[in-house]
Amino acid sequence: MKKTISCMNIDQEILYSFGGEKVIYKAKEFIFKEGDYSQYYFQIISGKVKLNIFTENGKEFIHNILGKNQSFGDPLLFIEKVYPTNAISLQTTEIIRMPKDNFMQMLKSNPDISLDMNMCLSQRLYYNNLMVRNLALADPIQRLQGVMDYLKSYHDGDCQHCFPIELTRQQIADLTGLRVETVIRTIKKMVNNKIIKLEGRRILY
């Protein structure tokens, strides 16, 4: 099965030929903010980007962390809606940024890319629905595993214990609606059940 976002890794030469430009963002720099209108397609060359929101009391809620050869921001190019999240670089990050009009022209000129885009958007919707369903479950193991399945769906590879969960225990708690203490206990159970593996404090799924 193709993965959610990693399948939308468009050849860089095609992106440049349709007006894509390389942009470098510093660590902690906003690429776009919640409430902005979508203007670009973004594809990561190197570095990492997190998608998040901040609650009224300043609490951070992380939706995803993306890396090399992954894209973001593209679903909003098809509808006149504002971004529901922020996109923030976690380190110095190189990105190919393509204006919306150029992106649409590229899709019209390359039907195979357009088909891949439809597949990726469908996969995103599928995994989003799975995560929402899992977050409604009472079993904390199922909640954590549902979030990990969702995060792993954005990356290539189906090997066991090879995907690093780039979230702190607090961030996992925020994402699942569980207490940090419950997350810590649940992680220990998941290690014992060989669902995950730990390298120090790093979770491998």
Separation between Cα atoms, residue 3 and residue 127, nearest integer Å: 10
Cα distances from 134 to residues 140, 141, 154, in angstroms, run 9, 10, 17
The more confident residue out of 197 and 147 is 197
**Residues 143-168, mean pLDDT to the nearest whole number:** 82
Separation between Cα atoms, residue 21 and residue 70, nearest integer Å: 16
pLDDT band for position 22 (cuts 50, 70, 90): very high
Structure confidence at residue 1 (pLDDT): 40
Statement: the pTM of the whole predicted model exceeds 0.95: no
Instruction: Name 135's Cβ contacts closer than 8 Å, sequence gap at least 6.
Output: 143, 146, 147, 176, 177
Structure confidence at residue 150 (pLDDT): 78
Quickly tell me which residue has 């393509």 as its tokens: 98
Pairing relation of β-strands 93-99 and 40-46? antiparallel
Rg (CA), the chain: 18
Structure confidence at residue 205 (pLDDT): 93
Structure confidence at residue 187 (pLDDT): 97
Instruction: Name 103's Cβ contacts closer than 8 Å, sequence gap at least 6.
Output: 18, 40, 41, 74, 77
Residue-wise pLDDT tens digits, 85-122: 999 999 999 999 999 999 999 999 999 999 888 888 88
Query: To 5 degrees, how large is the angle CA 83–CA 174–CA 187?
Result: 130
Structure confidence at residue 136 (pLDDT): 81
